[in-house]
Amino acid sequence: MNTPKDTLTPDYFDAVYRANEDPWQFASSPYERDKYAATVAALPKAVYDSAFEIGCSIGVLTQQMAPRCRQLLAVDVNEAALKQARQRLAGQPQVRFAQMVLPGEFPDEMFDLILLSEVGYYWSMDDLLKAQAKIIAHLRPGGHLLLVHWTPPVHDYPLTGDEVHEAFMVKTGPGQPLRHLLHQRHETYRLDLFAA
């Protein structure tokens, strides 16, 4: 049984996707549409060589990111969500999908873009910091890290979006591995862009 501060397990997401194929209305919500537009618009480079999307769900944002990436690895903990994502991105050979539970699992490659959108608050602070260390270690010099998270508290999520972003802000400044390039605060989400 999860306490509120424990990382949400794959079983949690299995139940969510059993109840609804698009539980967060990624494909239909005006909020998601506008947030995705802001996410893609925040990317400084027109094209990235190797991108990594953590928590791709059913692939709606993946589909919008794909034209900007020569190679895109998109992962999720839930196979039902990945099945939809694979169907949505059929015919996009530069996109690969994998079922992966971070931070315990992590791809063994380097990226010039890592996207962490609406995922970080599912981790405990301990797991967020483990994931953070791996994210930073797998970001090429000059590569970009884009964080986008809902900011209001959710009772069964271990962290808030602000807690996730502030954990990365600590890694900026003199002697730290990240530079902070962009901050946007919208009504119910925030976006922060970093460079290695």
- Tell me the pTM: 0.95
The residue-averaged pLDDT of 77-102 equals 96
* Region of residue 48 (phi > 0: left; psi between -120 and 50: alpha; otherwise: beta): beta
Please report, for the domain that includes residue 153, its CATH number. Answer: 3.40.50.150
Residue 1 maps to a domain: no
Q: Alpha-carbon dihedral of residues 41, 44, 46, 51, nearest 10 degrees?
A: -90
pLDDT at 2 over 80: no
Number of domains in the chain: 1
> 41 is in which domain, residue-wise?
10-195
Residue 4 maps to a domain: no
Residue 73 maps to a domain: yes
DSSP the chain: ---TTSPPPHHHHHHHHHH-SSTT-TTT-HHHHHHHHHHHHT-SSS-BSSEEEE--TTSHHHHHHGGGBSSEEEEES-HHHHHHHHHHTTT-TTEEEEE--TTTS--SS-EEEEEEES-GGGS-HHHHHHHHHHHHHTEEEEEEEEEEEE-S--TT-SS-HHHHHHHHHTTBSTTSSBEEEEEEE-SSEEEEEEE-
pLDDT at 3 over 50: no
How many CA atoms does the CB half-sphere of 120 hold within 13 Å?
A: 31
Residue 3 maps to a domain: no
Q: Would you state the pLDDT for residue 186?
A: 94
The residue-averaged pLDDT of 3-10 equals 81
Residue 130 maps to a domain: yes
Residue 22 maps to a domain: yes
pLDDT at 22 over 90: no
| The amino acid at 25 | Q
List all residues 6 or more positions away from 128 whose beta carbon is below 8 Å from its beta carbon: 120, 159, 164, 167
Q: Would you state the pLDDT for residue 165?
A: 98
Q: For residue 4, what pLDDT band results from cuts at 50, 70 and 90? A: low
CB atoms within 10 A of CB 11: 10
Residue 124 maps to a domain: yes
pLDDT tens figures, 23-61: 888 888 999 999 999 999 999 999 999 999 999 999 999
Q: What integer best gives the mean pLDDT of the chain?
A: 95
Residue 168 maps to a domain: yes
pLDDT tens figures, 101-157: 999 999 999 999 999 999 999 999 999 999 999 999 999 999 999 999 999 999 889
